[in-house]
């Protein structure tokens, strides 16, 4: 109200402000500083300039491998997950009975999928004689060596995250349900088929949630830790050694905090750059209702 | 609506009946196809979970030979021995530890995020725009970049191997997602009742507690449920901060169990996995409305 002290709002924000300063802003700056130091927890950090970064890009094959694997993982998992989530949302967006039952069933993996129990389950079902291979043999296929082969091993983690498509699907479904049905009626009177309506009406109208899901899933995928840590332990041949695991190992196993911070900053810059590209490009492909741009 | 207009204007009513029957048929075929696809995908998705439950009652030799759900020689061995664990502590200890991490964290989150969201949504003050921008920035900031210095801060505070590093950031509205979600929700609630209360002499704190919080309840429940789930599932936090086995939550205990007993005692690990998923599943089925609403409105990762 107008009579209120103008600092009253800041009073309510005080937990956030303290947390922001102590647990976000300070660590953010500190990690940038640490990335230019040699720090092993025993001695004080020693400033070494760009040395960590030079070592990363010229003399660290593990980093190159890890970066490559991370990019492959993100660029396969995120598109597959979004396409599958959207496809299932379109199938669900229809006058059917029991829609809610299906929606709930598909959402269950999203709730549980991040847990260690599910990562453990994944290890068992993709084992040489595990459920997946038993199933494949049952329908006449050869069993697959999931964890022995570098490509397959990474794919088991992609499959785990694909299995969690429910949360993205629920967001897509809410967007689909909010589309004005008369648009489709008008289009079909004008002779547009199902596919044409989907491409020219549905897709443009849901670009805001596609954009939202894309950013969220991408930021999350770049930070994948539990899956590879439990299921494949980074192997075989470091084929699932994603950057977050490398950072963890450097920081909390070898206690090389400076070097680990440098890796974290490279990862951070990649995520930021891709997020900024997405934001920047969104002007060209994201449609906001009521927006005057055409 | 189109049908209605047609039946008034069209000269040949029979043609319309034919069209309608054809449409009904198409609808039915379409529905059958969709059900088949939905059911197939649903079964494929849920079968690993169903199998997990069955497998936890199987003998160790059967786990890797029987793809079916039903155990041939059902046994409670996995549960009995798994509960004892290979440590001096039972799985019950790890369950209690988990609750002891989760409950204070959820309470702290609920209180701090409500206060902060109220501040953002209902007050004007200097620096508000900058602070809101900071909130959005924290929302997008990957944790990986702040994790190492956070660890050093907690080490200097002497909080390692305690639950404080897991509780305190959340009690300071550290989960920007929830604040953002509550701000969005609050902005959509009309202020009339709050203003009336203020005119009648209520303080802002009284207004917050007696007027805003009840209105905010659905969103607040979503926040609590999501924080509950995420904390139950959290692995990296405890992995970094908790080192004594007697303080382990279930996520670390499960990891420990696959490291120590996996070579031969699969049914123990699977049985404890089932138990560790049970609370999350139960809460989800009791309150699924709040999950789905929360995720569709606020847009929550998962």
Convert the pLDDT of each residue in B51-69 to its tens digit.
Answer: 999 999 998 888 888 888 8
Least confident range from A199-213, A278-292, B84-98, B166-180: namely A278-292
Q: What is the model's pLDDT at position B62?
A: 86
Decide if pLDDT at B172 tops 60: yes
Q: Do A94 and B31 touch (CB under 8 A)?
A: yes
What own/partner pairs with CB < 8 Å and gap ≥ 24 does B155-160 have? B159/B241, B160/B241, B160/B243
Q: Give the model's confidence band at A289: pLDDT under 50 very low, under 70 low, under 90 confident, else very high.
A: low
Q: What is the Cα–Cα distance from B11 to B207, expressed in whole angstroms?
A: 65
Q: Extract the tokens encoding B188.
A: 């959509």
A167 contacts on B by Cβ (under 8 Å): 295, 300-302
Count of CB atoms situated within 10 Å of the CB of A101: 11
Closest CA to A219 of B131, B227, B301, B2: B301
Report percent pLDDT > 70 for chain B. 92
Decide if pLDDT at A57 tops 80: yes
Q: What value does the mean pLDDT take over residues A161-183? A: 89
Angle at A244 (CA atoms; ends A242, A245), nearest 5 degrees? 70
Q: Give the model's confidence band at A22: pLDDT under 50 very low, under 70 low, under 90 confident, else very high.
A: very high
Q: Is residue A19 part of a domain?
A: no
Nearest to A24 among B138, B152, B291 (CB): B138
Nearest to B67 among A134, A216, A225 (CB): A134
Instruction: Assign residue A267 the CATH number of its domain.
Output: 1.10.3720.10
A252 contacts on B by Cβ (under 8 Å): 151, 240
Q: What is the Cα–Cα distance from B181 to A9, expressed in whole angstroms?
A: 18
Q: What is the model's pLDDT at position A291?
A: 55
Distances (CA, A) of A262 to A37, A116, B48, B117, B197: 9, 28, 39, 34, 53
Q: Give the model's confidence band at A290: pLDDT under 50 very low, under 70 low, under 90 confident, else very high.
A: low
Q: What is the model's pLDDT at position B263?
A: 60
Q: What is the model's pLDDT at position A223?
A: 93
Decide if pLDDT at A128 tops 50: yes
Kind plus residue range of the DSSP H or E element containing A38:
strand A37-38
Q: Do A111 and B280 touch (CB under 8 A)?
A: yes
Q: What is the Cα–Cα distance from B28 to B48, expressed in whole angstroms?
A: 31
Q: Is residue A164 part of a domain?
A: yes
Q: Do A117 and B284 touch (CB under 8 A)?
A: no
Q: Is residue A31 part of a domain?
A: no
Q: What is the model's pLDDT at position B264?
A: 72
Q: Is residue A256 part of a domain?
A: yes
Q: What is the model's pLDDT at position B9?
A: 54
B124 contacts on A by Cβ (under 8 Å): 6, 9
Q: What is the model's pLDDT at position B301?
A: 42
pTM summary value? 0.89
Nearest to A222 among B142, B208, B258 (CB): B142
- Burial of A272 from C-beta contacts in 10 A (0-12 / 13-18 / 19+): middle
A225 contacts on B by Cβ (under 8 Å): 235-236
Convert the pLDDT of each residue in B209-246 to its tens digit.
Answer: 999 999 999 889 989 999 999 999 999 999 999 999 99
The nearest alpha carbon in chain B to A230 belongs to B255
Q: Is residue A241 part of a domain?
A: yes
The nearest alpha carbon in chain A to B115 belongs to A12
Q: Is residue A1 part of a domain?
A: no
Q: Look at A7 and B54; give whichever has higher pLDDT.
A: B54
Q: Do B172 and A117 touch (CB under 8 A)?
A: no
Q: Extract the tokens encoding B168.
A: 């305190």
Q: What is the model's pLDDT at position B27?
A: 80
Convert the pLDDT of each residue in A133-152 to its tens digit.
Answer: 988 988 889 889 999 888 89
Q: What is the model's pLDDT at position B220?
A: 92
With contact defined as beta carbons under 8 Å apart, do A236 and A150 qualify? yes
Domain residues for the domain of A268 are: 59-285
Q: Is B228 helix (H, G, I), strand (E, B) or coil?
A: helix
For residue B275, the distance in angstroms to the closest alpha carbon of chain A comes to 9
Closest CA to B235 of B245, B246, B250: B250
Q: Is residue A263 part of a domain?
A: yes
Q: Which of A99, A124, A137 to mutate to test the interface with B (most CBs of B within 10 A)?
A: A124
Q: What is the count of residue pairs from A and B with beta carbons less than 8 Å apart?
A: 263
Q: What is the model's pLDDT at position B302?
A: 40
Q: What is the model's pLDDT at position B8?
A: 52
- What sign results for the dihedral spanned by CA atoms B69, B75, B80, B86? negative
Kind plus residue range of the DSSP H or E element containing A46:
strand A46-47
Q: Is A210 helix (H, G, I), strand (E, B) or coil?
A: helix
Convert the pLDDT of each residue in B110-165 to its tens digit.
Answer: 999 999 999 999 999 889 999 999 999 998 899 999 999 999 999 999 999 999 99
Q: What is the model's pLDDT at position A192?
A: 83
Question: In B206-217, which positions are buried (b, 16+ CB within 10 angstroms) versus exposed (e)?
Answer: ebbeebbeeebe
For residue A10, the distance in angstroms to the closest alpha carbon of chain B comes to 7
The nearest alpha carbon in chain B to A269 belongs to B145
Q: Look at B113 and A43; give whichever has higher pLDDT.
A: B113
Convert the pLDDT of each residue in B24-40 to its tens digit.
Answer: 888 888 888 888 888 99
For residue B272, the distance in angstroms to the closest alpha carbon of chain A comes to 8
Total domains, chain A: 1
Q: What is the model's pLDDT at position A73?
A: 96
Could you tell me the end-to-end alpha-carbon distance of chain B, in angstroms, rounded to an integer? 39
The nearest alpha carbon in chain B to A88 belongs to B38
For residue A64, the distance in angstroms to the closest alpha carbon of chain B comes to 18
Q: What is the Cα–Cα distance from B240 to B238, expressed in whole angstroms?
A: 5
Q: What is the model's pLDDT at position B14?
A: 75
Convert the pLDDT of each residue in B254-277 to its tens digit.
Answer: 998 888 765 678 888 999 999 999
Q: Do B173 and A109 touch (CB under 8 A)?
A: no
For residue B93, the distance in angstroms to the closest alpha carbon of chain A comes to 17
Q: Do A106 and B152 touch (CB under 8 A)?
A: no
Least confident range from A49-63, B1-15, B87-101: namely B1-15
Q: What is the model's pLDDT at position A155?
A: 94
Distances (CA, A) of B179 to A223, A270, B145: 22, 26, 21
Decide if pLDDT at B1 tops 50: no
Q: What is the DSSP string of A120-139?
A: HHHHHHTSTTSHHHHHHHHT
With contact defined as beta carbons under 8 Å apart, do A92 and A86 qualify? no
Report percent pLDDT > 70 for chain A. 97
Q: What value does the mean pLDDT take over residues A117-146? A: 90
Q: Give the model's confidence band at A85: pLDDT under 50 very low, under 70 low, under 90 confident, else very high.
A: very high
- Burial of A190 from C-beta contacts in 10 A (0-12 / 13-18 / 19+): exposed
Nearest to A19 among B37, B174, B299 (CB): B174
Nearest to A185 among B2, B168, B272 (CB): B2
- Burial of A6 from C-beta contacts in 10 A (0-12 / 13-18 / 19+): exposed
Q: Is residue A121 part of a domain?
A: yes
């Amino acid at each position: 109200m107008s009579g209120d002290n103008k600092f009253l709002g800041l009073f309510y924000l005080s937990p956030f402000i303290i947390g922001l300063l102590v647990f976000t802003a300070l660590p953010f700056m500190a990690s940038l500083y640490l990335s230019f130091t040699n720090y092993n927890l025993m001695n004080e950090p020693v400033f070494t300039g760009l040395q960590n970064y030079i070592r990363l890009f010229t003399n660290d094959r593990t980093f190159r491998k890890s970066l490559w694997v991370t990019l492959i993982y993100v660029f396969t998992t995120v598109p597959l997950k979004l396409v599958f989530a959207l496809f299932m949302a379109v199938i669900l967006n229809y006058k059917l009975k029991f829609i809610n039952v299906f929606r709930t069933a598909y959402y269950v993996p999203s709730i549980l999928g991040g847990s260690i129990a599910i990562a453990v389950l994944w290890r068992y079902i993709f084992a040489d004689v595990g459920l997946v291979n038993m199933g494949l043999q049952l329908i006449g296929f050869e069993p697959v060596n999931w964890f022995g082969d570098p490509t397959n091993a990474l794919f088991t983690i992609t499959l785990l995250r694909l299995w969690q498509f429910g949360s993205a699907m629920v967001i897509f479904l809410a967007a689909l349900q909010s589309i004005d049905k008369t648009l489709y009626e008008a289009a079909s009177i004008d002779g547009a088929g199902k596919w044409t309506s989907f491409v020219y009406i549905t897709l443009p109208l849901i670009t805001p949630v596609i954009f939202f899901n894309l950013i969220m899933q991408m930021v999350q995928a770049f930070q994948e830790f539990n899956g590879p840590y439990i299921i494949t332990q980074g192997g075989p041949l470091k084929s699932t050694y994603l950057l977050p695991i490398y950072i963890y190992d450097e920081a909390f196993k070898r206690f090389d905090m400076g070097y680990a911070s440098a890796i974290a900053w490279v990862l951070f810059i990649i995520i930021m750059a891709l997020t900024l590209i997405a934001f920047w490009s969104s002007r060209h492909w994201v449609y906001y209702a009521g927006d005057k741009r055409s | 609506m189109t049908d209605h207009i047609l039946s008034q204007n069209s000269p040949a009513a029979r043609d319309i009946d034919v069209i309608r029957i054809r449409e009904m048929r198409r609808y039915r075929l379409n529905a059958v196809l969709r059900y088949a696809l939905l059911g197939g995908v649903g079964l494929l998705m849920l079968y690993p979970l169903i199998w997990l439950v069955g497998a936890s009652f199987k003998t160790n030799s059967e786990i890797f030979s029987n793809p079916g759900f039903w155990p041939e020689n059902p046994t409670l061995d996995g549960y009995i021995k798994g509960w004892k664990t290979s440590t001096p502590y039972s799985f019950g200890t790890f369950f209690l530890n988990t609750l002891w991490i989760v409950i204070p964290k959820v309470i702290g989150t609920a209180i701090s995020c409500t206060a902060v969201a109220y501040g953002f949504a209902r007050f004007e003050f200097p620096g508000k725009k900058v602070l809101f921008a900071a909130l959005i920035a924290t929302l997008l900031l990957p944790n990986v970049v702040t994790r190492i210095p956070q660890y050093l801060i907690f080490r200097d505070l002497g909080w390692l191997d305690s639950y404080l590093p897991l509780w305190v950031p959340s009690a300071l509205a550290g989960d920007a997602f929830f604040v953002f979600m509550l701000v969005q929700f609050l902005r959509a609630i009309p202020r009339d009742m709050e203003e009336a209360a203020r005119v009648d002499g209520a303080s802002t704190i009284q207004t917050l507690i007696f007027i805003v919080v009840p209105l905010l309840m659905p969103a607040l429940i979503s926040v609590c449920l999501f924080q509950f789930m995420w904390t139950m599932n959290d692995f990296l936090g405890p992995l970094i901060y908790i080192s004594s086995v007697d303080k382990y939550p279930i996520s670390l205990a499960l990891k420990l169990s696959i490291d120590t007993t996996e070579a031969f005692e699969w049914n123990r690990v699977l049985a404890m996995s089932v138990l560790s998923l049970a609370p999350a599943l139960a809460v989800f089925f009791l309150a699924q409305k709040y999950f789905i609403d929360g995720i569709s409105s606020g847009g929550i990762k998962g």
